[in-house]
Amino acid sequence: MNRRELLFLSGTSLVYAGLRPLGAAGAPLVADSRRDGQRLFFEPADVPRIKANARTPLLKPMYDEWVSHPVDELAVLFDKFDASGDFIRDFHAAVWQMSQSAMVQLIDPSAARERSILEALGRLSDMPYWDYFRDGGTKVLGIQRASYTAVRALLAREVLGSAMNKELEDRLVRAIGDNGCQACYNTVYGMEHPETVVGWDFDEKHAGFYDITMERWPMILGANNLRAAPTGALGLGALALQGVDDRADEWLALSVASGKRFLKLFSPDGSYFEGLSYLDYSLRTMLPFIQAHRRIKGDVDWTSLVNFDGVLRYVLMMQMGRLPDGQVDIVNFSDARGSVAAGSLALMGRYTGDPLSKFLADNASSPRWYFDLLWYDPDAPSEAPDPSLLNMRNDLNWIVCRTGWDPDDAVVAFKSGGPANHEHADRNEILFKTHGERLLTDQYGAAYDRRSPGWKLRQTEAHNAVLIDGRGHPYVDGTEGTNDSKAYATILRYEDLGDRAWWTSDASAAYILDNYHVHQVLRTVLFAKPDTLILLDQIRLRYRPQTVDLRFFPDNADGAARLFAKANRFTITRPGARLHGFVSSDVDASPRVTKLDVPDETGVFPCIEVHSGEALTHHILTVLVSRKGSDGVMPAIEVVRDGQKWSIVTDDVTAKITATTHVPEIELG
């Protein structure tokens, strides 16, 4: 009795009831699937280097965690999936464990682990499909789970080699072709030819996972990071199955064309519009294919299609020290949460010869992936960033200025620019981290589902930005997910003076979309390193006076933030640092303590809100000075206003700022 029969008799095959696999009998193999063809991931000669990588200071903690899992855990995870049919969580966990086990088997082989991986591959081969997305209700798509699984199955196949008998090899190759490549092909083809799509959706079991419509998803996903995953997996599968499956040539042609199209999403300077963790996802799903295609085919100059040197500088730009648990912290605009994989950084360094890649791999990555072991080079040259990179403005109109790259250094990040997938309603938002504390933060954990109270974390009211008449600028309603809005902001002027930097951003085009009274929304920021920030917000309205509120959120994930406001002064305190604020305006604006209106189970997000009553014109100057430690008197902040001219003196800066009808005038002492 085979596993398929056993599953049927036990009832677990009912998970797949009503859905037909692609090609009921499986696609015919046009040649013996057991062949000594091109390897995708590594050569036998690479194994000693990979084993040595597992014992480097960077990768050893990751590898030791993988080794700590008992061999039988893999079967337990597949059993859990068989019982639940949950592709989103349980299937992903099982395949994740399989790829870890495969790498452990490559480095420290054992007969027991080999048997467990063979068993897992057999179970995968017996499944009728590997994903929960459908087109027209029946055609299986390969957006995330099928693409992820195809790559991991190919990796395990390469690691095990001759340990697989011909029967399992043939079954696995058919499954990779039908469940992996063809499903990914269906997805990428739909992105390229949306007119052919009947209607993308979840399968019946997963239908309630999100409350969204996918009518435009072939176009939306075709222009973001989710093009990379099926494209990369399709390409790897096509390279592996050429000469074995007669569909492979067509698969490869589409994956190459789609890969080229995806790389056009990068800005000329190498920045990536969805933020750092979605850059990471894109690289770790596309680079394995690019690397394999370069070695096996070599007929596409992939490195000329994207500015990899610029990508490395973008990764550097978005660093923000360390989190309390020691993990890498980043400028988390939008939904971004983590940095780029060490292996991706190392491979880009191999392409460019840039020693910054090794510095980033060692200091700005969180190893988690199989290719960290495959691509990392502990002996590569490393070079710390040039001081000219302390202040950076990219093609996206994002600005990040810092005092250095050590965890306690000061970092100021500012979000201007246009819309993007995974964005928030955050134009003209500012972040400030110093002494290891996020004194002005963008909250983590915004919900992807509009039904959740956590969806409010996407709105302007949850950011260090401006509210007009109690409202922020518009955002999407979530019916299509976290796709891009219509909100734009533009940097009107940017001055980099080394230890001083200032800029003005115009977000009028964003706010006017929902409020036709808005005439102008300008925010000017002066960063006087290391401790002083000066903000001038200029809001002009037409027809009806309205209120203005400026919000300032500290990190309160641990409940340790303390906020105080009195008269025109306020203080934000974290255990390691505090931020002192002074407000001056032509509209009697004053600070008060409030919090984001969400249930406590979603989180407690206190903030300082600088409130200005109804007026047609608001000029609000906010001086912010940070200090190390959680106590101490307010530092000296002197502000004298003469009409629309402010004279400011702190320990770090002497400045005069004059509001005009456009970009203000700034004189630095």
- Per-residue pLDDT reduced to its tens digit, 327-360: 999 999 999 999 999 999 999 999 999 999 999 9
Of 2-16, 306-320, 500-514, the one with minimum mean pLDDT is 2-16
Tell whether the model's pLDDT for residue 1 goes beyond 50: no
Kindly indicate the confidence band of residue 669, based on its pLDDT and cuts at 50, 70 and 90.
confident
pLDDT of 211: 87
> Domain coordinates of the chain in residue numbers?
19-265, 267-385, 388-634
Q: Is the pLDDT of residue 476 over 60?
A: yes
Contact criterion met (CB below 8 Å) for 667 and 655: yes
Cβ–Cβ under 8 Å, residues 50 and 373? yes
Do the beta carbons of residue 476 and residue 482 sit within 8 Å?
yes
Which candidate, 252, 225, 245, places its Cα nearest to that of 334? Answer: 225
pLDDT at 561: 98
Buried b (16+ CB within 10 A) or exposed e, 617-650: bbbbbbbbbbbeeeeeeebebebeeeebebbbeb
Q: What is the pLDDT of residue 11?
A: 32
DSSP 202-221: E-STTTTSS----TTHHHHH
Number of Cβ within 10 Å of residue 607's Cβ equals 25
Between 30 and 643, where is the model more confident?
A: 643
Under CATH, which number does the domain 388-634 receive? 2.70.98.70
* pLDDT higher than 70, residue 14: no
State residue 138's pLDDT score.
Answer: 96
For residue 628, pLDDT beyond 70: yes
Report the distance separating Cα 394 and Cα 364, nearest Å.
19
DSSP 228-263: HHHHHHHHHHHHHHTTTBTTHHHHHHHHHHHHHHHH
Q: Encode pLDDT of 151-185 as tens digits.
A: 999 999 999 999 999 999 999 999 999 999 999 99
Phi, psi of 36 (to 5 degrees): -95, 45
Q: What is the mean pLDDT of residues 437-461?
A: 96
pLDDT score recorded for residue 429: 98
Count of other CB atoms within 10 angstroms of residue 215: 15
Of the CA atoms within 13 Å of residue 506, those in its CB half-sphere come to 15
Coil, strand or helix at 430:
strand
At 358, give phi and psi (nearest 5°): -70, -40
> Band of the pLDDT at 37, cuts 50, 70, 90?
low
Whether the CB-CB separation of 296 and 248 falls below 8 Å is answered with no
At 33 the pLDDT is 65
* Structure confidence at residue 234 (pLDDT): 98
Query: For residue 27, what pLDDT is reported?
Result: 61
Query: Do residues 554 and 581 lie in contact, with contact meaning Cβ atoms separated by under 8 Å?
Result: no
Flag the least confident range among 98-107, 209-218, 332-341, 530-539.
209-218
pLDDT tens-digit profile of 479-536?
999 999 999 999 999 999 999 999 999 999 999 999 999 999 999 999 999 999 999 9
Residue 26: predicted pLDDT = 56
Helix (H, G, I), strand (E, B) or coil at 239: helix
The rounded distance, in Å, linking the Cα atoms of 420 and 427 is 12
Looking at residue 29, its pLDDT comes to: 76
Task: Please choose, from the candidates 103, 126, 114, 109, the residue with its C-alpha nearest in 3D space to the C-alpha of residue 54.
Answer: 103
d(CA 61, CA 190): 41
0.75 exceeded by the pTM? yes
Report how far residue 614's alpha carbon sits from residue 605's, in angstroms, rounded to the nearest whole number. Answer: 26
Mean pLDDT in residue range 377-398: 97
Higher local confidence (pLDDT), 451 or 26: 451
Q: pLDDT tier at 22 (50, 70, 90 boundaries)? A: very low
Query: 3-class SS at 360?
Result: helix
Q: Identify the top-confidence range among 21-25, 35-39, 663-667.
A: 663-667
State mean pLDDT over 376-398. Answer: 97
Q: Is the peptide bond before 530 cis (omega within 30 degrees of 0)?
A: yes
For 76-91, write each residue's pLDDT tens digit. 999 999 999 999 999 9
- Going by C-alpha positions, the residue among 56, 55, 155, 57 that lies closest to residue 105 is 155
Structure tokens at 623: 């001086």
User: Is residue 118 within 8 Å of 164, Cβ to Cβ?
Assistant: yes
d(CA 593, CA 497): 34
Q: Please, what is the angle between helix 183-192 and helix 248-263, to 10°?
A: 50
392: three-class secondary structure by DSSP: strand
Roughly how many angstroms between the first and final C-alpha of the chain, as a whole number? Answer: 85
Find the range with the poorest average confidence among 146-150, 605-609, 659-663: 659-663
* pLDDT class of 294 with cuts at 50, 70, 90: very high
Instruction: State yes or no: pLDDT of 473 exceeds 70.
Output: yes
List residues bridging with 637 in a β-sheet: none
Phi, psi values for residue 381, rounded to 5°: -65, 145
Quote the mean pLDDT of the chain: 94
- What pLDDT does 23 receive? 36
Give the integer Cα–Cα distance in Å for 511 and 489.
Answer: 9
DSSP letters along 162-205, please?
A: GGS-HHHHHHHHHHIIIIIIIHHHHHHHHHH-GGG---EEE-ST
Alpha helix positions (H), 364-434 = 370-375
Closest CA to 409 of 440, 438, 436: 436
